[in-house]
Amino acid sequence: MQPTAPTLILTPADLGKAIRARRLELGLKQADVAMQSGVSNPTISAIENGKDTARIGLVLQVCRDLGLRIRVET
């Protein structure tokens, strides 16, 4: 699989879209990711919809489980 170009994430919605895109790329359902990450289906839905109330630790866990890397630059 070819690495994809970095995606600029400026909002929770941007991150949610990137997470959803990766999940779909892997052919996974929200329930699959929820089970793998140890969270509920509504939590995965909230993350993918860019809800501001999603806990950052859970978001980072889901990213790790989907093989997404997050890099902070200045």
DSSP per-residue codes, 2-58: PPPPP----SHHHHHHHHHHHHHHTT--HHHHHHHHT--HHHHHHHHTT-TTS-HHH
Q: pTM here?
A: 0.88
For residue 59, being part of any structural domain is answered with yes
Count of domains forming the chain: 1
For residue 5, being part of any structural domain is answered with no
For residue 2, being part of any structural domain is answered with no
For residue 72, being part of any structural domain is answered with no
The pLDDT of residue 5 is above 90:
no
- The whole domain housing 51 covers 12-65
Query: What CATH number did the domain enclosing 46 receive?
Result: 1.10.260.40
Q: Please write the tens of the pLDDT for every residue from 12-67.
A: 999 999 999 999 999 999 999 999 999 999 999 999 999 988 899 999 999 999 99
